[in-house]
């Protein structure tokens, strides 16, 4: 079973993020982490390999720093990794990123593509689906359970108040949701391997794409600007007995704030 | 000059930081409160393989250079210094002489299981009347036929109450002072070897520390850990610098944990309508703390780099230990001031860092002794 895992390096969840003075971009403290949902995808890939054999290969797209995310994948147990090194493409929209990733995936022999359900930086949750579309493969999203046997997969997704079970023939693309597994802490043997490994890098041109075709200015979606969240109003204290106060709180939530 | 960590070291730092955040940080408070050896965490953490950090890959180690080792020591202490002390004892002092001088049988019985966390190691220097002054060691080793007979009592022994084996400093001749000292391996279960009083400590709780009693303990000849007799002090020199710089790195771990708590608090605690981090006197504290922590790290990592390059590092190691530990004590103090009265509540972490920092003033050599040593080296005898 050959499994490809899409891994994105994202700002550390504790990194400071501020809207730039121009409102066109963000100033992000340079602290990085592997996208949490991609760790679930990676862990699942490793578990499938442990049961069924095969190889796990991690693929990332980004600047030179993204190599660290791939080293983490190797430390966790991935057999191989490759970086599509292109800082400007990383700033492109999901369509261009998915196009480049799908071109890289086309060069591989694989049964499964696993990715996180979304990256915790932009939170768009669109790349894996578009990768599936470019590759002409089925896609099952927000998976919390995945059983692989006889060339097909039984994938369970969480819906509101229910679960959906989908059977799909391989190869297919799956996105991992929290609850799928608990990602492992790397063993030192993996860390040592990751520290020494030479991770191959490819350029978009190597994937048969023209650099300007996937450049940010040719994105299909463009970020117009960033707005700060609405300032939280001061805490409103509701006086009175508990019963009356609760009724008043419910009234405010329903009639004034319209949140329930 | 190149002050940067290599790409590999940066990656190692990232991984060990994440590992400590996931496994150790959530347990730190419980470790401190219970003040018991954290067996569950020990088993989970040691199976990752870090106890072989400094030993060659051929025997299952990582062969980490001193700079990488300092990154590890700093991060593990940031998580919980109580846990870190037990771990580092197995990595460094508790196993070094077994690795360096132990026979294959001893290595298989003690070193290899200790590298996997299956056995707990310790090193016994201190006695009730001697600590930094090793020449005052009163524990004796007397040759009797093909055996050594050990008598004495050791105090302040990290991991002592739970140790499976101990590297024991003992003298073969009380009149020789430091020149009569040697290391001996004593294993749990050897008749006459028993744990004594367990210490109730101010900080570094969770590292069980106590007394070890040696009452006519008979050990085979091969348990003398040294190529030559009475060269113990010389052999100690092989790890002395690392022990000192490691203590400084642990101090930076505690300081960073406290600093991070202070930073979070300064950003969110409101006084007179704005976060206290907006006030100049609080800002000044962060400027001072960050500056001294940066200076400490420069001392620590440049000393470690000298060790890696096999350059003389004895004074630099003492400087790093002393400066980093004094900085740590300042930082944990300042953070309690930033936290105000909340720092005095046991439900928050600053009081733990404040207590933990104190031990590093003595562990790895008191600063009074270190200053005297450095002065002697700089001025001459």
What DSSP letter does each residue of B276-308 carry, written as one string?
Answer: GGGSHHHHHHHHHHHHHHHHHHHHHHHHHHHHH
Distance CA A148, CA A44 (A): 11
Residue A217: per-residue pLDDT:
87
B354: domain CATH number?
1.20.140.10
Answer whether residue B310 shows pLDDT above 90: yes
Domain boundary (B228, B243, B277) is at: B228
Tally of structural domains, chain A: 2
What 3-state class would DSSP assign to A42? helix
Chain A segment 23-52 residues within 8 A of B by beta carbon are 33
Residues across chain B = 381
Distance from the Cα of A78 to chain B's closest Cα (Å) equals 15
Shared-domain flag, residues B242 and B375: yes
Q: Which one of A68, A185, A187 has the shortest CB-CB distance to B11?
A: A68
pLDDT in tens, A190-216: 999 999 999 999 999 999 998 888 888
Top mean-pLDDT range of A19-33, A228-242, B178-192: B178-192
Domain assignment present for A174 = yes
Shared-domain flag, residues A186 and A243: no
Chain B segment 53-82 residues within 8 A of A by beta carbon are 53, 57, 62
Residues 6+ apart with CB under 8 A from B159: B37, B86, B89, B90, B94, B120, B121, B122, B207, B208, B209
Query: A67 contacts in B (CB within 8 Å)?
Result: 7
Answer whether residue A179 shows pLDDT above 80: yes
Domain boundary (B206, B228, B250) is at: B228
Shared-domain flag, residues A154 and A250: no
Shared-domain flag, residues A191 and A258: no
Distance from the Cα of B263 to chain A's closest Cα (Å) equals 12
Radius of gyration of chain A (CA): 21
Confirm or reject contact between A189 and chain B (CB < 8 A): yes
Query: Encoding tokens for residue A23?
Result: 């409102």
Residue A95: per-residue pLDDT:
94
B188: domain CATH number?
2.40.110.10
pLDDT in tens, A74-116: 999 999 999 999 988 888 899 999 999 999 999 999 999 999 9
Query: A192 contacts in B (CB within 8 Å)?
Result: 57, 62
Domain boundary (B78, B99, B115) is at: B115
Residue B131: per-residue pLDDT:
78
pLDDT-derived band at B51, boundaries 50, 70, 90: very high
Residue B138: per-residue pLDDT:
94
Residue A21: per-residue pLDDT:
87
Domain assignment present for B2 = no
What 3-state class would DSSP assign to B318? helix
Distance from the Cα of B50 to chain A's closest Cα (Å) equals 6
Q: Which one of B8, B19, B52 has the shortest CB-CB distance to A185?
A: B19
Q: Which domain holds residue A66?
A: 2-218
**Mean of the per-residue pLDDT values for chain A?**
93
Residue A249: per-residue pLDDT:
93
**ipTM more than 0.85?**
no
Shared-domain flag, residues A160 and A258: no
Tally of structural domains, chain B: 3
| Residues A188, B49: C-beta atoms closer than 8 Å | yes
Distances in Å between the Cα of B302 and the Cα atoms of B2, B66, B380 are: 10, 10, 24
Domain assignment present for B1 = no
pLDDT in tens, A132-175: 999 999 999 999 999 999 899 999 998 888 999 999 999 999 99
Answer whether residue B286 shows pLDDT above 80: yes
Mean pLDDT over B47-58 rounds to 95
Distance from the Cα of A210 to chain B's closest Cα (Å) equals 31
Q: Which one of B7, B47, B62 has the shortest CB-CB distance to A192?
A: B62
Q: Which of B147, B128, B149 is nearest to B138 (CA)?
A: B128
Residue B143: per-residue pLDDT:
96
pLDDT-derived band at A223, boundaries 50, 70, 90: confident
Answer whether residue B280 shows pLDDT above 90: yes
Answer whether residue B162 shows pLDDT above 90: yes
Domain assignment present for A92 = yes
Distances in Å between the Cα of B41 and the Cα atoms of A7, A20, B201, B205, B233 are: 29, 43, 21, 14, 34
Distance CA A55, CA A3 (A): 6
Confirm or reject contact between A187 and chain B (CB < 8 A): yes
Residue A228: per-residue pLDDT:
87
Shared-domain flag, residues A74 and A198: yes
Domain assignment present for A257 = yes
Shared-domain flag, residues A152 and A31: yes
pLDDT in tens, A2-34: 999 999 999 998 888 899 988 888 999 888 999
pLDDT in tens, B360-369: 999 888 999 9
Answer whether residue B26 shows pLDDT above 90: yes
Shared-domain flag, residues B192 and B281: no
Q: Which one of B8, B48, B49 has the shortest CB-CB distance to A195?
A: B8
Shared-domain flag, residues B19 and B92: yes
Domain assignment present for A104 = yes
Distance from the Cα of A187 to chain B's closest Cα (Å) equals 4
Task: Choose the mutation target among B6, B14, B53, B266 for the interface with A, i.e. most A CBs under 10 Å.
Answer: B14
In this prediction, what percent of chain B has a pLDDT beyond 90? 94
Domain assignment present for A223 = no
Q: Which one of B10, B15, B47 has the shortest CB-CB distance to A75?
A: B15
Residue B322: per-residue pLDDT:
97
DSSP B76-111: HHHH-HHHHHHHHHHHTHHHHHHHHH--HHHIIIII
Sign, CA dihedral A148-A149-A153-A157, equals: negative
Shared-domain flag, residues A168 and A252: no
Residue B132: per-residue pLDDT:
77
Shared-domain flag, residues B184 and B253: no
Shared-domain flag, residues A254 and A181: no
Q: Which one of A187, A189, A194 has the shortest CB-CB distance to B11?
A: A194
Distance from the Cα of B243 to chain A's closest Cα (Å) equals 22
Answer whether residue B142 shows pLDDT above 90: yes
Q: Which domain holds residue B321?
A: 233-379
Residue B381: per-residue pLDDT:
74
Size of interface A-B (CB pairs under 8 A): 39
A208: domain CATH number?
3.40.50.620
Mean pLDDT over A249-254 rounds to 92
Query: Residue B264 CB: number of other CB atoms within 10 A?
Result: 12
Nearest CA in chain B to A186: B48
- Residues B37, B38, B39, CA angle at the centre, nearest 5°? 100
Distance CA B151, CA B166 (A): 14
Answer whether residue A232 shows pLDDT above 80: no
Sign, CA dihedral B187-B188-B193-B197, equals: positive
In this prediction, what percent of chain B has a pLDDT beyond 70? 100
What 3-state class would DSSP assign to A172? strand
pTM score, whole prediction: 0.89
pLDDT in tens, B91-103: 999 999 999 999 9
């Amino acid at each position: 079973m050959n499994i490809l895992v899409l891994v994105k390096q994202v700002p550390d969840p504790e990194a400071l993020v501020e809207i730039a003075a121009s409102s066109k971009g963000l100033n992000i403290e340079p602290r990085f982490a592997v996208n949490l949902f991609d760790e679930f995808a990676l862990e699942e890939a490793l578990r499938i390999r442990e049961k069924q054999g095969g190889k796990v290969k991690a693929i990332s797209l980004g600047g030179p720093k993204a190599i660290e995310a791939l080293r983490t994948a190797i430390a966790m147990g991935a057999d191989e990794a490759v970086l599509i090194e292109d800082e400007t493409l990383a700033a492109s929209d999901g369509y261009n990123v998915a196009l480049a990733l799908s071109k890289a995936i086309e060069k591989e022999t694989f049964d499964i593509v696993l990715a996180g359900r979304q990256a915790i930086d932009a939170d768009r949750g669109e790349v894996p689906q578009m990768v599936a579309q470019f590759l002409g493969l089925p896609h099952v999203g927000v998976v919390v359970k995945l059983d692989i046997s006889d060339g097909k997969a039984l994938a369970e997704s969480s819906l509101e108040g229910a679960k959906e079970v989908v059977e799909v023939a391989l190869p297919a693309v799956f996105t991992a949701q929290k609850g799928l597994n608990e990602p492992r802490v790397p063993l030192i043997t993996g860390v040592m391997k990751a520290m020494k490994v030479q991770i191959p890098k490819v350029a978009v041109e190597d994937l048969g794409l023209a650099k300007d075709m996937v450049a940010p200015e040719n994105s299909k979606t463009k970020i117009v600007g960033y707005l700060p969240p609405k300032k939280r109003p001061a805490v409103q204290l509701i006086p009175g007995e508990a019963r009356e106060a609760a009724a008043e709180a419910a009234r405010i939530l329903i009639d004034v704030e319209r949140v329930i | 000059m190149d002050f940067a960590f290599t790409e590999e070291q940066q990656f190692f730092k990232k991984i060990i930081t994440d590992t400590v955040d996931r496994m150790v940080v959530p347990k730190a408070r419980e470790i401190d409160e219970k003040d018991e050896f954290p067996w569950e965490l020990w088993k989970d953490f040691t199976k990752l393989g870090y106890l072989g950090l400094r030993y060659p890959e051929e025997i299952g180690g990582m062969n980490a250079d001193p700079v990488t080792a300092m990154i590890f020591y700093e991060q593990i202490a940031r998580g919980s210094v109580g846990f870190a002390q037990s771990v580092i004892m197995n990595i460094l002092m508790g196993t070094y002489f077994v690795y360096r001088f132990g026979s294959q049988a001893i290595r298989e019985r003690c070193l290899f299981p200790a590298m996997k966390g299956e056995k707990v190691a310790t090193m016994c220097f201190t006695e009730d009347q001697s600590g930094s002054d090793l020449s005052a060691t009163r524990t004796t080793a007397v040759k009797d036929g093909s055996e050594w007979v050990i008598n004495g009592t050791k105090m302040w022994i990290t991991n002592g109450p739970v140790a499976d084996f101990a590297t024991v400093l003992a003298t073969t001749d009380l009149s020789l002072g430091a020149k009569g000292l040697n290391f001996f391996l004593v294993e749990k279960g050897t008749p006459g070897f028993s744990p004594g009083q367990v210490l109730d400590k101010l900080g570094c709780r969770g590292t069980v520390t106590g007394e070890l009693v040696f009452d006519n303990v008979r050990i085979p000849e091969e348990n003398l850990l040294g190529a030559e007799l009475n060269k113990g002090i010389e052999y100690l020199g092989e790890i002395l610098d690392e022990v000192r710089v490691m203590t400084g790195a642990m101090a930076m771990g505690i300081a960073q944990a406290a600093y991070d708590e202070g930073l979070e608090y300064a950003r969110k605690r409101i006084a007179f309508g704005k976060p206290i981090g907006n006030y100049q006197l609080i800002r000044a504290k962060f400027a001072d703390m960050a500056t001294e922590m940066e200076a400490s790290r420069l001392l620590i990592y440049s000393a470690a780099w000298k060790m890696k390059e096999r350059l003389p590092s004895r004074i630099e190691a003492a400087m790093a230990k002393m400066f980093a530990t004094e900085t740590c004590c300042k930082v944990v103090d300042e953070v309690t001031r930033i936290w105000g009265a909340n720092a005095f509540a046991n439900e928050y972490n600053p009081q733990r860092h404040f207590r933990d920092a104190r031990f590093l003033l003595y562990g790895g050599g008191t600063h009074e002794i270190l200053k005297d040593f450095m002065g002697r080296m700089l001025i001459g005898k």
